[in-house]
Structure 1
Amino acid sequence: MSNRKLTILVTDDEESIRNSLRDILEFEDYRVLEAENGEQVFGVLAEEPVDLMLLDIKMKGIDGMEVLTRLKEEQYQFPVIMISGHGNIEIAVEATKKGAFDFIQKPPDLNRLLVSVRNALDQHRLTEENKTMRSRLPQVPEIIGESRAIKKIKETIDKVAQTNSRVMVTGENGTGKELVARWIHEKSQRSNEAFVEVNCAAIPADLLESELFGHEKGAFTGASSQRIGKFEQADGGTLFLDEVGDMSAKAQAKVLRALQENAIIRVGGTEKIAVDVRVIAATNKDLLEEIDSGGFREDLYHRLNVIPIHVPPLRERREDIPALAKRWLEHLAEKDIMFSGISFTDEALEALKKQQWSGNVRELQNAVERLGLLAEDATIREQDINELTLTGTRKPQGADSLLDSSSTFQGFKEASERLFLLRKLDENDWNISQTAEAIDIQRSHMYNKMKKYNIER
C-alpha cells in the first residue's frame, strides 16, 4: 500500500453524489473507482484492489445492506463506510453489526467524511500490520529445559534445521517428539511451507497408503474422486511421520521408494509425481529390535535415521520439571483467567520432581491443569501435589526398583536395557567394542543404543 495511491470505491446510484465524492477524494490524493449499483461492485472488485468503500444503503436492485452482507461472506477485509439519505439509529446499528466501520448521513459533512475515511484506513493498516507481525512470530511452543539433554537437543536442532537431512526422533510417549519435529521445520528454510503430520499408528494399514500417496478416482471401492496424499500436500515443506514403527510392510516399501526417487505414484495411478519433501520420522519403539524381528525394513531405517535425536523421559531430566510446570501454568493463564495469579511454592516444585511421570510431559501438563483448578487458593503447595497429582512417588532408580518405577512394558524394557548397558560398560572399562562383543550385539547397535539413552562416560 505504501507504493501506490490508496483506492476508494464509491458506490452510489446518484451520479451527482459520485462526482462530488470523487472530486473531494481525488483532491486528498486518493484513487477513486465508481459503481452505480450493487451488481457493479463485485465486477470492480474482481479487477481492482480496493482499500476502502463508500457504500450507499438505498440502491435499486441489490441494496447496500445486501452488498455489505456479501462482502463479509466473501471475506473482503477492507473497511466500509455506509452513506444514506434515510438514516436512522436502527439502520446505523444494523450496518455496524454487519461490519460497517461508520455510518454517515447525506448530504455528508465533508470534514466528518474525510476524518472517517482516514480513521478507517489507519485502523485497517494497523490491523494488517498486526496480522503480519503475528504471522512472523513462531507459533510453536518453546522447548523448555536447561538440562544437559535438552541443551543438546536444541543445539542439534539448530545445526540440522538448515539442511535437508532426514531426522529420526525417538523417545517414550509424551516426551515431546512432535515438538522437536516442529522446531526443525520452524528453523528451516521450509518454514513458510507446509508442515504435514501423519500418525502411522492411528490410520488403518489398508488406508495408510492412500493417506500418504493419495489415490486416483476409482482406485478402489469408495474412491469416488481423486485424492491428494500427504507427500504431495507437504511438497516444498516437511512431512512428519509419527509412530513410523507402526507402518505396514507394504507402506514401508512405498515410502522407501519415494525417498529414493523423490517421487510418488498415487494408488491406482501410473504417473510419477515429483515431490520435494523433507521427512522427519518419530517412534517410541526400538527399531533395531523391530528390524531383528522382521517388523521394520533395515534399508528404510537407514534412510530415515540420518540424524538421530533422542528425547529423554522426565525421569532422566528431573531438573527441568519446575520450569515445565511453571511455563504450563503461565500458558493456561494466557488462555483462561481462572488460572491467573496461581503459583507454586518452592516445596511444591520439589515435590513435583519426585513424582513418577510415566506419561512424561503430557502427564505433567495434565497434572498442572488439575492442580490449578482444584487448589484451594492461588498458591499450589506441597500438600496439593501429594493429594492431587495421583501419580505416586518415584522410588530411587536401580535394579530392585524397576518393577515399581515403570508403569508400562516399554518403560520397564528401556529402563532395564539402559541399566544393563551401564553395568556392562563399567565391567569392560567403557571399551565399547569389548562391551558389544561381551553382550553379543553389533558395535554399531551399541553406539545407537548409547545415543538413544544418552549414555556417556
Structure 2
Amino acid sequence: MTAHILVVDGDPVQRRLLKDAIASHGHIVHLAESGNIALSRIAAHRDDIRAILLDLSMADMTGPGFLAALSDMKLAIPVIVQTGEGNIEHAVEALRAGAFDFVVKPVSVERIATALGAVLRLDQTLSNPRPMRRARSRTITFDDIVCTSPAMVRVVELARRAAHSTIPVILEGETGVGKEMIARAIHAGSDRSGRPFVSVNCAALPVDELEAIIFGDQAVPGKYQEADGGTLFLREVGALPLDVQERLLDAVQDGEIATVGSIRRQKVNVRLISATNKDLIEEVKAGRFREDLYYRLNVFPIIIPALRRRKEDIPYLARAFAERFSAEQRLARPLVFGSGALALLTSYDWPGNTRQLETAIFRAVVLSEGHELAEHDFPQISAQLQGASDRRNPYADMAGANEAIAGLYESSALLAAGLPDAEGDRMADQAYRGGGANTLPDNFIISTDKSGNVRTIADIEEELIRFALKFYRGQMSQVARKLGIGRSTLYRKLKDYGIDPENPEQRAA
C-alpha cells in the first residue's frame, strides 16, 4: 500500500537517507528541514499525509511543541519521533504529547519499515474494523514475537538460525524476558514442530523429585521420554542439583538415559533447549554447576536483553497485549492507549520485564470502564514511578541541597578541628555515606573522606562511573562517550573496580 510520508529532519544527509529508505518500500516521501516548514507542508497536503517521521532535535521548535501545533490544526496524523541513544526521556515526553511511536538513532531501514507498517496497519484497522481474534493458539511462532529494537531483532534472527538445526541452545536473561516464548518459536520453526514440546521448570520442582521427574522411574515415564522426537526445554537449568547435572551430562553426550532405579539404558531423540537467569560461569567457579555440562549446553547461547534495555519495544508490546486481552474479554473492539498511558509505561523500567508488562495490561483491560486506557488504569506503576522520582530528587529546590552541603561542611569542620565531638562524627559519617538528615543528591560527589583527607582519584573515578551507569540507564556507548573514554577502556575499568553494569550500586568485592 502506497502512502504519503512526511520526514522532518534538520540534517540534509539524514533526510536523504530516510527518503531513500522509505521510498524503497513504495511510499511517497515529503521532506521538511524544520518544524515550521513541516507544518506548512502538512497544511498543503493534509488529506494525503498518513504518517510523520519527526526528529526531536529541531532548531525552531521542540517535539512536544510541534505535536501541540499539529493538534491545534485538528489533525490526527500519527507521528513517529526520532531520539538519540540515552535520551529516552525525550521520547517519553513526546509520547505524552501524543506521538504514536519512537525510534532510537541510528535507525535501520528495517526499523523504519516496521514503525511505518504499524502506523499504516492501525490506520487501515480504524478505517475498516474487522472482528478480533478470540483466542491465542498454544503454538507460538516467530511471527508472534513482537519486537522492533535492534537487540531483540538480533535475538529473533539467531533463534531462527538455531531452529534449522538440532544444536543445543541456551537462552540467557532475566526472569520474565520471554525465554520460553523464544524456545517455543525455535521448536515451531524446526522440523520437530509436529512432535512434543515439553517444558520443565527446574527451579520450581522439589529437589528430591527432580531426577525422577526428568528421567522417569519404573512407574512413571520422565520428561525426557515425553519429549522423544521433539524438544525438551529446561527452564532455570542452573537450579539443577549436581547429581542431576551428572545424569543430564550423560544424556546429552550419549543420547541415552536410564530411569531412576534401573540400569537399562534407552535411546532418546531429544532436542535440548536450556534457559537460565543466572551467570553460569560464576556458578561453575563457585562449584555449583559442572563445567563439562556447561560447555555441552552453551553451544549456541542467545542472550535476551531486559525490557529496560529495549524500550522501543514497549509501545508495540503494550498494544499487542491490549488487543489480545480485549479479545479474551470479548470486547467489541480492542482498547487503545491514551498518550499519557503509553508514556507512563515507557518511563517505567519493568524489573519483571515483559511478563510484568503483560500482567499490568491484563489488569488494566479487565478493570477499564472506557474505550481508552489512561494513566489512572495503571495505579501501581504510577506509584512506583513517583517513588523512584522522589528518591532521585530528594530536594525540590536548591535550598534543600544548599542546606545539606552546609551540614556537610559543618561536619567536616568539626573533624578537621580534631574535636572529640561524637555528634560531629555522626554528622560527617551521615554526610559521607548519604544517610540521615544530611543526605546529598545523587549527582554530588564528595572530595574528602570521613577523616577530612582528599579522596583518591581512583575512588572518585569509580563513583563517577557508577553514577554515569545509573544516569544513562546502562547504555554503555552513551556512558563511554559522556565520560570521554573508549568502550574498551570503560569495560576495563568496570572489571578493575568490580562494577556490575546491570547493578551499578553494588559495591566492589
Which band: TM-score by shorter chain?
0.5 to 0.7
Name 1:234's counterpart in structure 2: 227
* 2:375–2:382 CA contact under 8 A, matched in 1: no
The separation in 1 between residues aligned to 2:228 and 2:325, in whole angstroms, is 35
Q: Is it true that 1:211 corresponds to 2:213 in the alignment?
A: yes
Q: Is it true that 1:163 corresponds to 2:165 in the alignment?
A: yes
* 2:327–2:334 CA contact under 8 A, matched in 1: no
Give the partner amino acid of 1:139.
T
The separation in 1 between residues aligned to 2:185 and 2:493, in whole angstroms, is 34
1:81-117 C-alpha deviation (Å, 9 max, x unpaired):
xxxxxxxxxxxxxxxxxxxxxxxxxxxxxxxxxxxxx
1:337 is paired with a residue whose SS is: coil
Q: Is it true that 1:271 corresponds to 2:273 in the alignment?
A: no
1:324-374 C-alpha deviation (Å, 9 max, x unpaired):
111111111222225844211233212210023111111111111222233
Give the partner amino acid of 2:297.
L
1:259–1:340 distance in 2 versus 1, CA, 3 Å: same
Name 1:48's counterpart in structure 2: none
1:198 is paired with a residue whose SS is: strand
Name 1:311's counterpart in structure 2: 304
1:145-203 C-alpha deviation (Å, 9 max, x unpaired):
10011110111111110100011101111111100100010100111111011110111
* 1:357–1:391 CA contact under 8 A, matched in 2: no
* 2:170–2:297 CA contact under 8 A, matched in 1: yes
1:363 is paired with a residue whose SS is: helix
From 372, 375, 382, the equivalent of 1:382 is: 375
From 173, 185, 188, the equivalent of 2:187 is: 185
The separation in 1 between residues aligned to 2:148 and 2:308, in whole angstroms, is 15
1:107-130 C-alpha deviation (Å, 9 max, x unpaired):
xxxxxxxxxxxxxxxxxxxxxxxx
1:368 is paired with a residue whose SS is: helix
Name 1:252's counterpart in structure 2: 245
Name 1:331's counterpart in structure 2: 324
Name 1:429's counterpart in structure 2: 486
Give the partner amino acid of 2:285.
D
Give the partner amino acid of 1:202.
A
Give the partner amino acid of 1:274.
K
* 1:339–1:373 CA contact under 8 A, matched in 2: no
From 335, 346, 355, the equivalent of 1:342 is: 335
Give me the TM-score of the superposition, normalised by structure 1: 0.56
1:321–1:419 distance in 2 versus 1, CA, 3 Å: closer
Instruction: Point out where structure 2 has 5 or more consecutive residues left out of the alignment.
Output: 1-136, 393-440, 444-465, 502-509
Matches within 5 A, 1:57-456: 139-140=139-140, 142-216=144-218, 226-338=219-331, 340-385=333-378, 390-392=383-385, 419=474, 429-431=486-488, 435=492, 439=496
* 2:364–2:377 CA contact under 8 A, matched in 1: yes
Give, in angstroms, the shift of residue 241 of structure 1.
0.4
Backbone CA RMSD of aligned residues: 3.5
Give the partner amino acid of 2:362.
E
* 1:370–1:388 CA contact under 8 A, matched in 2: no
The separation in 2 between residues aligned to 1:184 and 1:432, in whole angstroms, is 37
* 1:238–1:279 CA contact under 8 A, matched in 2: yes
1:182-236 C-alpha deviation (Å, 9 max, x unpaired):
00101001111110111101111111110111112xxxxxxxxx22111111111
Give the partner amino acid of 2:354.
V
* 2:139–2:184 CA contact under 8 A, matched in 1: no
1:339–1:363 distance in 2 versus 1, CA, 3 Å: farther
The separation in 1 between residues aligned to 2:350 and 2:288, in whole angstroms, is 29
1:45-104 C-alpha deviation (Å, 9 max, x unpaired):
xxxxxxxxxxxxxxxxxxxxxxxxxxxxxxxxxxxxxxxxxxxxxxxxxxxxxxxxxxxx
1:428–1:231 distance in 2 versus 1, CA, 3 Å: farther
1:398-453 C-alpha deviation (Å, 9 max, x unpaired):
x959xxxxxxxxxx9xx88x959877998873448993996499xxxxxxx99xxx
1:348–1:440 distance in 2 versus 1, CA, 3 Å: closer
The separation in 1 between residues aligned to 2:474 and 2:382, in whole angstroms, is 28
Name 2:13's counterpart in structure 1: none
* The structure with more radius of gyration: 1
* 1:424–1:435 CA contact under 8 A, matched in 2: no
Name 1:93's counterpart in structure 2: none
The separation in 2 between residues aligned to 1:433 and 1:380, in whole angstroms, is 42
Give the partner amino acid of 1:275.
V
The separation in 1 between residues aligned to 2:366 and 2:476, in whole angstroms, is 42
